[in-house]
Amino acid sequence: MKFSIETETLLKNFGWYAGRNIDITQYLEYYKKEGLKINEVIKDFLQEYGGIKIIYPHHKYENLTHDMEINPLESAPYKNDTREYYELRTGEYLVPIGNAMGRHMYVFMSFSGSIYITDSDYMMKLGDSYINSLETICKGNMGEEIEDIYDDEEE
């Protein structure tokens, strides 16, 4: 799948180009140190999009923007038990790939290439692949909300 012209233009404005292939050695060392597994989908994504900070339209307000930085080294701090909680919600193994909204949100990618953003309780799946996910975010959409697994429990 190719990007829409709008998304491709936006990504190019922030340093992306077709065939981009950066050195991700630092990212791989970080994942190894953290005890995280990654696969070829995540490696390919990071080689092409790693190090890019995307400024994209706000999902509600026309004159505002949000940002997403694709850089595991700059991912918002998290704990493995927090990541495991997100995995329970999504049913997928998740790897931190960056941050969003001024470092207030975690950005994770699954082995399938889906990208998720979350601030703890609020969690969104941007798409079923990283192409769909980038298309969603670059258009200022928030994706599909993932329900909290504890919402139905009595307090």
Confidence of residue 155 (pLDDT cuts 50, 70, 90): very low
* Residue 22 Cα distances to 16, 44, 112, 127, angstroms: 11, 10, 21, 24
Asked if residue 98 has pLDDT above 90, the reply is: yes
Residue ranges and CATH numbers for the domains of the chain are 5-145 (3.40.1580)
| Digit-coded pLDDT (tens) for 63-86 | 777 788 999 998 856 666 688 888
| For residues 39-58, average pLDDT | 91
